[in-house]
Amino acid sequence: MATTTTAGVAIVGGGWAGLACAVELADHGVPVRLFEAARQFGGRARAVDWHGLRVDNGQHLMIGAYRATLDLMRRLGTHDGIERRPLDLRVPGFRLALPRLPAPLHLAAGLLAARGLALADKLAAARFMRALQATGFRLATDLPAAELLARHRQPAALVDRLWAPICIAALNTPLATASAQVFCNVLRDSLAGARADSDLVFNRADLGRLLPEAAAARVRARGGETRLACKVEAVTRAGAGYRLAGPDVESDRVVFACHPARLPALLAGLPELAELGRRVGAFTWQPLATLWLRFAKPVALPLPMLGLGDGQAPWAFERDDIAPGVVSLVVSADGPHLRQPPKTLRDDYLALLARELGPLPTLLDWKLIIEKRATFACLPGLDRPGNATALPGVWLAGDYTAGDYPATLEGAVRSGLACAHRILENDGHD
Ligand SMILES: Cc1cc2nc3c(=O)[nH]c(=O)nc-3n(C[C@H](O)[C@H](O)[C@H](O)COP(=O)(O)OP(=O)(O)OC[C@H]3O[C@@H](n4cnc5c(N)ncnc54)[C@H](O)[C@@H]3O)c2cc1C
């Protein structure tokens, strides 16, 4: 197919979605200009300085089903910054490990061998997964995940031990209010997928090096432009294209790849998109908290990721890759923990860690990072917009656009790539 126009694309936001979009366009020869308000790339998955150490703004976890993300890392040459392990979820009194068997045997064998579940619970879990499989994991109408589990008569112990932790970790939204459809999508692509899809994938490079910095470098190497500390203040129409106040440039195509909470204000200069602004303006948010701990000596966790209790107890991650003795504790979603003074929270969590590991080495340093709008609340029937908008040349990329996934790295990367493909189709590229 003939290439008709290669006029440039301006991208507002250098998170994982904006960068995925930029790399894909740049690799297809489209001139790209990317503007990022912060002083580093990565958005909600970025590196931050902690007294000379580069840590993540929040502890992240990926799974083997994150195909688009892992593939993009391979393209950028950064996939040696990850470690893959077969799924092994361990919290006090419960353990689910999936053996290296072909699917679906890995799940059947894993469930049967799970510790901390009665046989009736294991059979109920298998029955639930079979019922979802029979409908292709599609629900006729979306509903709260807790209701779906109740309809399938899932025992309380199984819900507390298995389904609730998976839901809150993946959707960052409690079972009572989480979208059952997105919960089913996650189960389909993790537990019910190929064996490797359920692998846990840990970053062993900080979140800046893992993808964002290499992606920005790739864009520049392809002749594109990336600007940090460059906030787009407003976007308005200018002739057949658009004018971006802040960087003060004009472009015939604009991709909004900012946090969805920022979108309504940015769209204010485009009255044709007022309805879109209202839709996204109705989203609500869920926080995520990460407590970074630095001990005087390495702390050996029995697994790279260890649950410290039920409910909203934190998950601990060994992060010796950052420096010996670094451990992160992460807690999903809103809850009473966020109303505690940080020092009380730290001491409570240190006590939970010591309960699992025994006496801990001296604590040298700690840092609590709370991201208040870490993810959109993944509610039933959420009205997520597509990549295209009602205005020609205006596109959206971000974890919140229509898709199977909750607010995740994979959702962001898929959205960025899909947005680039739509732009390329419109350009008449191959
Ligand atoms: C603490 C935490 C833990 C998480 N844990 C996980 C996890 O374990 N697994 C997982 O898959 N996902 C996790 N997520 C979710 C994941 O990080 C996000 O879904 C993903 O990073 C969203 O990427 P994005 O590009 O869509 O948006 P963003 O990362 O929000 O990127 C938007 C970018 O736009 C920039 N911007 C905004 N306004 C402007 C403007 N006016 N001009 C220029 N630039 C602008 C912002 O600075 C930002 O860099 C977590 C998120 C957080 C915060």
- Identify the CATH number of the domain in which residue 302 sits: 3.90.660.10
Q: Residue 428: its pLDDT value, please?
A: 63
- Residue from 55, 211, 409, 410 to probe ligand 1 pocket by mutation (most atoms less than 8 Å from CB): 409
Average pLDDT score over residue span 89-110: 90
- pLDDT-derived band at 310 (thresholds 50, 70, 90) equals confident
- Residue from 12, 44, 48, 285 to probe ligand 1 pocket by mutation (most atoms less than 8 Å from CB): 44
Does 190 reside within a domain?
Answer: yes
pLDDT higher than threshold 90 for residue 399:
yes
**180 and 117 inside one domain:** yes
Q: Which amino acid is at 420?
A: A
Please give the span between the terminal C-alpha atoms of the chain, in angstroms, as a whole number: 6
Q: Which amino acid is at 63?
A: I
Q: Is 406 in the pocket of ligand 1 (CB under 6 A)?
A: no
Average pLDDT score over residue span 219-234: 98
Does 217 reside within a domain?
Answer: yes
Rounded to the nearest angstrom, the distance between the alpha carbon of 258 and the centre of ligand 1 is: 8
How many domains does the chain fold into? 3
- Look at residues 198, 227, 242 and tell me which one is the last residue of a structural domain: 198
pLDDT higher than threshold 50 for residue 3:
no
Rounded to the nearest angstrom, the distance between the alpha carbon of 354 and the centre of ligand 1 is: 32
Distance, C-alpha 119 to centroid of its chain: 33
Does 4 reside within a domain?
Answer: no
**107 and 230 inside one domain:** no
Does 58 reside within a domain?
Answer: no
- Look at residues 178, 198, 218 and tell me which one is the last residue of a structural domain: 198
Both tokens assigned to 331 = 């807690």
> Residue 411, class by beta-carbon neighbours within 10 Å (0-12 exposed, 13-18 middle, 19+ buried)?
buried
Q: Is 45 in the pocket of ligand 1 (CB under 6 A)?
A: yes
Q: Is 253 in the pocket of ligand 1 (CB under 6 A)?
A: no
Average pLDDT score over residue span 263-269: 97
**Protein residue with its CA nearest to atom 13 in ligand 1:** 408
Does 324 reside within a domain?
Answer: yes
Q: Is 407 in the pocket of ligand 1 (CB under 6 A)?
A: yes
**302 and 384 inside one domain:** no
Q: Residue 101: its pLDDT value, please?
A: 86
Residue labelled with tokens 């500390």 = 229
Q: Is 405 in the pocket of ligand 1 (CB under 6 A)?
A: no
Q: Is 56 in the pocket of ligand 1 (CB under 6 A)?
A: no
Does 275 reside within a domain?
Answer: yes
pLDDT in tens, 196-226: 999 999 999 999 999 999 999 999 999 999 9
Does 3 reside within a domain?
Answer: no
Average pLDDT score over residue span 299-314: 94
pLDDT higher than threshold 80 for residue 341:
yes
Q: Residue 103: its pLDDT value, please?
A: 83
Q: Is 399 in the pocket of ligand 1 (CB under 6 A)?
A: yes
Does 1 reside within a domain?
Answer: no
Biggest CA–CA distance in the chain, Å, is 68
More confident residue, 316 or 311: 316
Separation of alpha carbons 234 and 107, rounded Å? 50
In Å, how far are 101, 104, 111, 136, 233 from 98, measured between CA atoms?
8, 10, 8, 22, 49
**271 and 405 inside one domain:** yes
Nearest to 292 by CA among 54, 2, 32: 54
- Look at residues 146, 181, 198 and tell me which one is the last residue of a structural domain: 198
**279 and 402 inside one domain:** yes
Residue 165, domain extent: 87-198
Q: In what side-by-side order are the strands of the sheet with 249-251?
A: 234-238, 241-245, 249-251
**210 and 178 inside one domain:** no
Rounded to the nearest angstrom, the distance between the alpha carbon of 304 and the centre of ligand 1 is: 24
Tell me the percentage of the chain whose pLDDT exceeds 70: 98
- Identify the CATH number of the domain in which residue 31 sits: 3.50.50.60
pLDDT higher than threshold 50 for residue 195:
yes
**Protein residue with its CA nearest to atom 2 in ligand 1:** 58
pLDDT higher than threshold 50 for residue 354:
yes
Average pLDDT score over residue span 143-153: 98
**276 and 290 inside one domain:** no
pLDDT higher than threshold 80 for residue 2:
no
Q: Residue 5: its pLDDT value, please?
A: 35
pLDDT higher than threshold 70 for residue 4:
no
Long-range contacts of 48-53 (CB under 8 A, 24+ apart): 48/369, 50/292, 50/365, 50/367, 51/365, 53/294, 53/322, 53/323, 53/326
- pLDDT-derived band at 1 (thresholds 50, 70, 90) equals very low
Average pLDDT score, the chain: 95
**253 and 398 inside one domain:** yes
**266 and 290 inside one domain:** no
Average pLDDT score over residue span 165-169: 93
**192 and 271 inside one domain:** no
**210 and 347 inside one domain:** no
Full DSSP string of 163-204 = IHHHHHHHHSS-TTTSBHHHHHHHHHHTTTS-GGGG-EEEES
**243 and 172 inside one domain:** no
